[in-house]
Structure 1
Amino acid sequence: MDGVNLQKENQNLKDVNRELDAIIENSYDGIYITDKNGVTLKTNSAIERITGIPKEYYIGKNVKDLIKRGILKNSVTRKVVEEKRTVSLVQNNYEGNETLLTGTPVFNENGEVEKVVTNIRDLSDLNKLQIELRKANQLNTQYKKELERLKNKPDQVKGIVTKSKSMKQIYDSATRIANIDATVLILGETGVGKDVLAHYIYTNSNRSQKGDFIKINCGAIPPDLLESELFGYEGGAFTGASRDGKPGMFELAHKGILFLDEIGELPLSLQVKLLRVLQEGEIQRVGGTKPKKIDVRIFAATNKDLQKMVEDSDFREDLYYRLNVIPLEIPPLRNRREDILPLIQQFLDEVNNKYQLNKEFDYDLQDFFLSYEWPGNIRELFNLIERLAVTSREDIINIDSLPEEYLTTNKLTANVIVPLKEAVEMAEKKVIALAAEKYTNTYELAKALNTSQPTIVRKLKKYNIHLK
């Protein structure tokens, strides 16, 4: 090789070394090169950032000496030479930061380890990033839950309208107590939506992921059957009982919520057993001998005055206070008229979709809806809307389509002059109809209206009014 080519080759070698030095020097990770004996040949400035010790300090030093001085805790170089393969280990450096050391062997022509190139990565930044990512994920989960809560605010949930201040307060309270495992007593007139509120609380609680929402109407089941429905029974406990027995509502609601509707109708004998469940968290099947632990949250609802029932000894005082831990009272529809028009639109949309209709209410009919007293509350409103939608021939429904009993009420409230006898009959019909919503037999009705039972029977027939 002549002098010119030799000089050129030498220049090329210098260029390659300079590029290699630049690559090593500008690496974000620490680069640490030793010979097979562990003597440091080369390193870069990143090692100073990672360890806090200038890179010049390492040159010529043996890793054994660095370990003795506490700068290193373990030698990856020695393991690479012994095992003749790439080795990784994690250790804390001189400043206490966690680092990942990866040693890679460089072999000579005889297959022997000649040098060891160690890559040093500071894990503290990565750990910080992981912590920040974990926090971000937690926040993201919280934001998702909050967005879901906002998206499912009561005034946007099917069947629930809370435009009025009173209803917003009730559903705000319901949201707050959803995951508090205390008994809830929901009060309100017939048809105000007590079961809807109960199911809303369940849906927004952790129990909705663990157990079922079980509802039982305490007034709809004969007293002699109610006990077995609530607590279940063992096989052969009574005539006609299944040989295998049957779980009751409490067992079916395990880990979930049991909604006791019309709790005021619960017989005194069963009130004692319910009190035991609330106190001890266990039930005993009819015909059984061993109590069984259950995890059930109790919701109760009634349209009756339980305090008065306690005074009259019709309801146990101790049970009343056990149930009345978190009372929520839903106001009647006539006391929250801001909710009426949104409810009308919601119910009409549901009915139109159900029956493939395209019905609308004119202004006068909507005005009637706003002024009517709604003794049956939301249930009555929905039933009337459905009735009008399916029976009216016109798509635009007016006030003349109202059933006769509503037209009579409308005349009484619209300052219309009618014959005195007709006015008396209309007023009488309205009073009897309102009382019939509350009382279940003619004896109670006659007593409430201070008249005789035969008179009530005759008037009911005359005005075509039916008791519930």
Structure 2
Amino acid sequence: MNLDKYWDWEEIVDSINTDVIVADSKGNIVYSNSSVELWLNIKKNDIIGLSVMQLEKERVFYPSVVKRVLETGEKQTLIQETRSGKKLLVTGNIVYNDKNNIKYVVTYAQDVTELEKMKLYVKMIEGEMETIKSELKELQSKQSAAPHIIAKSEPMKHVVSLINRVARSNTSVLLTGESGVGKTLLAEYLHNQSGRKGKFVTINCSSIPESLLESELFGYDAGAFTGANPKGKKGLVEEAKGGTLFLDEIGELPINLQAKLLTFTQSKEFIRVGETTPISLDFRLVTATNVNLKERIEDGKFREDLYFRLSVIHIPIPSLRERREDLLSLIIELTQKFNQRHQQEKVLDHAVIDHLLHYEWPGNVRELANLMERLVLTVEDNLIQQEHIPKEFISNYRKENSFRFQVLEEKTLPEMMQELETQILQKVFARCKSTTEMARQLGVSQPTVVRKLQKYGIKKTT
């Protein structure tokens, strides 16, 4: 197999920081990119022509995904260990010939050695459940009351960094983002980082009837209205004395109460319903919404002066689709969390993890948490497999994958490699702000990136 004339795709495959290996239908290696030297500690040219069965026997890597694909006739994904001690998540895809027989097996891998959560997961699938339980108990005993925030992605790192910088101030903070992104959790994290001694008090502005909202917020005097407690009642805002008052769904606050909230936030004083004497209150105000407050202002449903008062520090929370680097850790942590809560020992099959990593998650972290708890509770076997995923989580599954080959009978290997190159460039281009940043991520020169983008006509869309 002469690959010299395919230098164009070989250059881009060589730039990927993951080993790509192509074997024929007998398990003999016909191509390898340069990353194999780092990942498998074997020279690129030395591996060509070798049998994967022999390499497996010599424990250069074990087990062989190519061998598994040839045995089953299906795509396979498994955890593989190299002679140097690396743990790789390896996938083998099939390239068929014109007679629909296996022509090549194309494999690619991701290094999961340094991922702490993946280490726990690997231990789980290797049967070390007792070790995991003891580690989790020890970890649980050391945890503080503060919520744990997973922030491995750059967008979430920025959010947590900003919260940490402003936590000790008394400035109002507005958290915005889609429903389910974790605004309440981040508000509580902000409170814990603030050092304030009082409580963290949450009020959902959309869950309290409008007729009772003012009296529930600010309290009322004895006999203030029909049906009122004869002894009066302290308002929810008073519970936040010395602490943090978190007003969720602030966009749903009735317009007639917005003026009172503005006065309250400016003066830190309020008057109970039925009284005339103002009450001073030391508190930190944090608000959240999943609606566009500027649009509400234009529609006359939200006061502009209140918006400016609430959004001194505005922190947009990214959706789960924008922080996919956090997905694996969230999946593993939620599995462990619900296993502990419900005294289960459920383990996720690789195919399930792959499916969850490519689902769109319109409901964000809340949707993910609900699904994980549902699977832990309802699946009878300890191994949660792809067949257990509810039907409603199938339709939004992202079919595209940065390293997924879409093999068609009429396509040649270089044509498929060109598709792979285009997919990689499109993915990196979408998340990078400049061609310089793309070059740094791909490990090639900036002029090479520009040339490739021009070659495939990849450009920003509006």
Instruction: Report the identity percentage.
Output: 48
Corresponding residue for residue 297 of structure 2: 310
Q: Give the alignment partner of residue 358 of structure 1, picking from 345, 348, 369.
A: 345
CA RMSD, Structure 1 to Structure 2 (Å):
2.2
**Within 1, Cα distance between the matches of 2:283 and 2:397?**
47
- Greater Cα shift, 403-412 or 190-199: 403-412
The 1:235/1:326 distance shift into structure 2, 3 A limit, reads: same
Deviation of 1:407 (Å): 2.7
| Local SS of the residue matching 2:394 | helix
Q: Give the alignment partner of residue 386 of structure 1, picking from 350, 366, 373.
A: 373
Query: What count of residue pairs does the alignment treat as equivalent?
Result: 263
| Local SS of the residue matching 1:204 | helix
**Within 2, Cα distance between the matches of 1:403 and 1:281?**
49
Q: Give the alignment partner of residue 185 of structure 1, picking from 160, 168, 174.
A: 174
Aligned positions of 1:40-55 closer than 5 A:
none
* 1:376-409 residue CA offsets vs partner (Å, 9 max, x unmatched): 1101001000111111122111111011211344
Corresponding residue for residue 281 of structure 2: 294
Corresponding residue for residue 240 of structure 1: 227
| Local SS of the residue matching 1:220 | coil
Q: Give the alignment partner of residue 335 of structure 2, picking from 326, 348, 360.
A: 348
The 1:157/1:246 distance shift into structure 2, 3 A limit, reads: closer
Deviation of 1:410 (Å): 3.8
Q: Give the alignment partner of residue 200 of structure 1, picking from 173, 184, 189.
A: 189
The 1:205/1:282 distance shift into structure 2, 3 A limit, reads: same
* 1:414-464 residue CA offsets vs partner (Å, 9 max, x unmatched): 989xxxxxxxxxxxxxxxxxxxxxxxxxxxxxxxxxxxxxxxxxxxxxxxx
Output the amino acid matched with 2:201: I
Residues 359 and 398 in structure 2, CA contact (< 8 A), matched pair in contact too: no
The 1:169/1:348 distance shift into structure 2, 3 A limit, reads: same
Q: Could you tell me which runs of 5 or more consecutive residues in structure 2 were left unpaired when the two chains were aligned.
A: 1-141, 408-462
Deviation of 1:411 (Å): 9.0
Relative contact order higher in (CA < 8 Å, ≥ 6 apart): 2
Deviation of 1:258 (Å): 0.4
Deviation of 1:152 (Å): 8.1
- Larger Rg over CA atoms: 1
Corresponding residue for residue 164 of structure 2: 175
* 1:242-273 residue CA offsets vs partner (Å, 9 max, x unmatched): 11111112211111110000000000011010
Asked whether 1:279 is paired with 2:246, we answer no
Q: Give the alignment partner of residue 151 of structure 2, picking from 140, 149, 162.
A: 162
**Within 2, Cα distance between the matches of 1:332 and 1:351?**
22
Corresponding residue for residue 404 of structure 1: 391
Deviation of 1:372 (Å): 0.8
Aligned positions of 1:326-341 closer than 5 A:
326-341=313-328
* 1:181-223 residue CA offsets vs partner (Å, 9 max, x unmatched): 000000111111101111111111121x2x1111000001110
Residues 201 and 245 in structure 2, CA contact (< 8 A), matched pair in contact too: yes
Output the amino acid matched with 1:243: P
Of Structure 1 and Structure 2, the greater helix share is in 1
Q: Give TM-score, length-normalised by structure 2.
A: 0.55
Deviation of 1:345 (Å): 0.7
**Within 1, Cα distance between the matches of 2:329 and 2:322?**
15
**Where do 4+ consecutive residues of structure 1 move more than 2 Å?**
156-159, 407-416
The 1:389/1:286 distance shift into structure 2, 3 A limit, reads: same
* 1:289-327 residue CA offsets vs partner (Å, 9 max, x unmatched): 111111111100000000111111110000000001001
Q: Give TM-score, length-normalised by structure 1.
A: 0.54
**Within 1, Cα distance between the matches of 2:293 and 2:268?**
23
**Within 1, Cα distance between the matches of 2:395 and 2:253?**
37
Deviation of 1:353 (Å): 0.9
